[in-house]
């Protein structure tokens, strides 16, 4: 008899929710949010909740929602294409200096992060974009033509930071890390997405969906669950725009990774190989996929595709381990796994509850910021990554275990 590794939530008027949450926190508000989504008539079979599941806006973070003939923009969110990239280098721990502050400084100088001067410029301020770096200009070329098409359809996108945010990290839980694996090999890992332009796309279509619900007099358990029916103009436009944002996000990570590797080489005055192993995966995105013999639209909001043999990244907090994983192709999770540890405290709660001394202790041995402005990202704000991994042993297998020695936050 096959062991069931998930718990099932079910109400009479909805499909089941299968939650891989044994041994990890699963707040009632997140359960309610998932059950609300489960009531929608176009949900396919069930909803899969990952062990890092927690309350989100409209739809739960850490959820996998498969649908037929409709899509819910809030089930993807506004950080479109957000995801992870990791590369293994030929460096080992013994080639790193005891003091890594210069390495962190080099990375911070190489990759715009937080709310730096370049990030505050608007597209209109930079004329013909001649003052942007060559690598950003080159990376924009495959994105440019389709972006022009999108702005002609959706004028709201014209004044976004699009190209100006390409190759930038941003704020919040986005990060760049230098890590050591179980064999003391050096890895570089980073987390970011489609930045301001993706946020604008996501927000724009969430509002369009709400207006459509009002126009059709459709009543929902939560108005943020407004949806777009397949075959409608807004549905096709949404899929087109999100797929572009996902491409932007992937290229954004590639630009940053190249810069980080160059910065490390210059800081260490060492040549080394990179991309010995490499993973670049989204965890906020849409995808047309075949499940149980039917083509469906799968939205993953804080979840990684974990098809059989597919590689993924599951990071812990800025003081915890992270994992390079291989998917086991579990059909009941729609071939998915968690995207990280998942929050147990809101940002406001973390700032109130965790002292600077506690944060410093939790990040001991990591070259990172230890000031009050990053308390909201302190390890205590997140679930125990080991418990999260234990809850999804039937979804992925661990290939590499990473521990950061440098962490750059916006």
120, pLDDT greater than 70: no
CA distance 86 to 335: 21
Q: Taking residues 352-371, report their average pLDDT.
A: 94
Mean pLDDT of 115-138: 59
pTM of the model: 0.94
Q: Is the pLDDT of residue 115 over 70?
A: no
Comparison of pLDDT for 410 and 399, the residue scoring more: 399
Q: Please check the confidence at residue 263 and state whether its pLDDT lies above 80.
A: yes
CA angle 107, 113, 117 (to 5 degrees): 115
Residue 88's beta-bridge partner residues?
187
**What mean pLDDT value characterizes the chain?**
93
DSSP for residue 111: S
Q: pLDDT at position 172, please?
A: 85
Task: Judge residue 254's burial from the number of C-beta atoms within 10 Å of its C-beta, 0-12 exposed, 13-18 middle, 19 or more buried.
Answer: middle
Nearest-angstrom CA–CA distance, 91 and 83: 25
Q: By the 8 A CB rule, do 110 and 282 touch?
A: no
Domain ranges of the chain: 7-344+382-409
pLDDT over threshold 50, residue 129: no
pLDDT at res. 31: 97
Give the pLDDT score at 24. 96
* Pair 339, 295: CB distance under 8 Å: no
Q: Which of 362, 365, 360 is nearest to 405 (CA)?
A: 365
Measured distance CA(189)–CA(88) in Å, rounded: 9
Q: How many CB atoms lie within 10 A of CB 32?
A: 14
Angstrom distance (rounded) from CA 35 to CA 55: 12
For the structural domain made of 7-344+382-409, what CATH number should be given?
Answer: 3.90.1860.10
Termini Cα distance of the chain: 48
- The full DSSP string for 186-241 is EEEEEEE-SHHHHHHHHHHHHHHHHHHHHHTT---SSGGG--EETTSHHHHHHHHH
Confidence check: pLDDT of 128 > 50: no
Contact 83, 195 (CB under 8 A): no
Residues taking part in catalysis: 339
H helices of 154-194, in order, are: 162-165
pLDDT of 171 reads: 87
pLDDT (tens digit per residue) in 272-322? 999 889 999 999 999 999 999 999 999 999 999 999 999 999 999 998 999
- CA dist 45 and 61 (Å) reads 19
Sign of CA dihedral 96, 102, 108, 114: positive
């Amino acid at each position: 008899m096959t062991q069931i590794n998930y718990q099932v939530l079910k109400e009479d008027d909805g499909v089941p929710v299968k939650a891989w949450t044994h041994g990890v926190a699963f707040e009632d508000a997140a359960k309610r949010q998932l059950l609300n989504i489960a009531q929608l008539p176009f949900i396919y079979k069930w909803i899969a909740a990952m062990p890092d599941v927690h309350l989100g806006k409209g739809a739960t973070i850490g959820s996998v929602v498969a649908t037929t003939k409709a899509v819910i923009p809030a089930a993807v969110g506004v950080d479109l294409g957000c995801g992870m990239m990791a590369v293994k280098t030929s460096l080992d721990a013994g080639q790193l200096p005891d003091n890594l502050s210069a390495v962190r400084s080099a990375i911070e100088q190489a990759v715009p992060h937080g709310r730096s001067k370049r990030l505050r410029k608007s597209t209109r301020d930079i004329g013909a974009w001649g003052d942007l770096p060559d690598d950003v200009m080159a990376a924009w070329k495959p994105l440019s033509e389709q972006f022009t098409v999108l702005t002609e359809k959706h004028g709201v996108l014209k004044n976004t930071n699009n190209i100006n945010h390409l190759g930038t990290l941003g704020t919040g839980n986005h990060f760049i890390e230098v890590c050591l694996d179980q064999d003391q090999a050096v890895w570089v890992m980073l987390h970011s997405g489609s930045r301001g332009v993706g946020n604008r796309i996501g927000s724009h279509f969430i509002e369009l969906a709400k207006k459509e619900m009002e126009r059709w007099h459709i009543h929902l358990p939560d108005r943020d669950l407004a949806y777009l029916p397949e075959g409608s103009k807004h549905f096709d436009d949404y899929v087109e725009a999100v797929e572009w944002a996902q491409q932007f996000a992937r290229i954004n990570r590639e630009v940053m990774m190249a810069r980080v590797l160059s910065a490390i080489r210059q800081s260490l005055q060492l040549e080394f190989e990179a991309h010995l192993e490499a993973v670049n995966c989204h965890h906020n995105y849409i995808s047309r996929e075949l499940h149980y013999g039917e083509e469906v639209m799968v939205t993953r909001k804080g979840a990684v595709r974990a098809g059989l043999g597919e590689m993924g990244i599951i990071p812990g907090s800025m003081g915890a381990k992270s994992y390079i994983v291989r998917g086991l192709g579990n059909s009941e999770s729609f071939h998915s796994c968690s995207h990280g540890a998942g929050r147990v405290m809101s940002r406001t709660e973390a700032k109130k509850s965790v002292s600077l001394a506690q944060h410093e202790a939790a990040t001991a041995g990591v070259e990172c910021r230890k000031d009050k402005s990053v308390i909201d990202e302190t390890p205590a704000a997140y679930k125990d990554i080991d418990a999260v991994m234990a809850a999804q042993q039937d979804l992925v297998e661990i290939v590499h275990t990473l521990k950061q020695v440098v962490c750059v936050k916006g």
